[in-house]
Structure 1
Amino acid sequence: MADSPLRTIRLHHLRHSVASLLKKAGVAPRDAMEILGHSRIAVTMEICTHSDEATQREGLGRLGGTLFGTPEK
């Protein structure tokens, strides 16, 4: 497989991707914890789930709407 153009990834990296996709899909953290098989929610939230710019912007848009009565974008 040395000639394969695909990058080798570990199964563990896929779990991080799944955790982030579940977060982006709006799955409750407790449910994501169960899906991923973690024993503690802290593992799911602090180690496996990664933030992204789109989610941060959405959160700031919601905050702006709450504070200033502006519609979300």
Structure 2
Amino acid sequence: MARKIAGDAWQQAPGEDLIFSQRHGGMIESRGFSRTFDGPIKRAGLRRITVRPARHACGTLLAFLKVRPKVAQAILRHSQLSMTMDSCTHGVDEDQREAAALPADLLGGPLIG
């Protein structure tokens, strides 16, 4: 989408496939990323959350959904599996998974996982 908006002003190296980029392509610095991340959060009407807690939430959700640790490591872009296991994927045991499904059952809809 950003590439389309930028048109001829787009400047990204060949083979560089970035999820978030500067307005006209290329990598953005971490401060710029936080500003970029805030936009979709605000438009969705969600409470502001920084990137780090969002990554932790993603790791926990991946664990809840029983995603294999190596796959979660790739999604979270960690160089070490231990980083994924120790700091981002908060363990979700079967009792917790069942408890999380109760509200969905009560509301009449299935819960993924």
Q: Same fold (TM over 0.5)?
A: yes
Question: In terms of mean alpha carbon deviation, does 21-30 or 43-52 score higher?
Answer: 43-52
Q: Distance in 2 between matches of 1:32 and 1:51?
A: 13
> What fraction of aligned residue pairs are identical, expressed as a percent?
37
Given the two structures, how large is their TM-score scaled by the length of structure 2? 0.41
- Structure 2 counterpart of 1:21, which letter? L
Structure with more helix by fraction: 1
Q: In the TM superposition, what whole-angstrom CA distance separates every residue of 1:32-67 from its partner, at most 9, and x where no partner exists?
A: 000000000000000111134xx2527xxxxxxxxx
RMSD (Å), alpha carbons:
2.2
Which consecutive residues of structure 1, in runs of 5 or more, have no partner in the other structure?
1-5, 59-73
Decide which structure has the larger Cα Rg and report it.
Answer: 2
Larger relative CO (CA 8 A, sep 6+): 1 or 2? 1
Aligned residues: 53
Q: TM-score, structure 1 length as denominator?
A: 0.61
- What is aligned with 1:26? 66
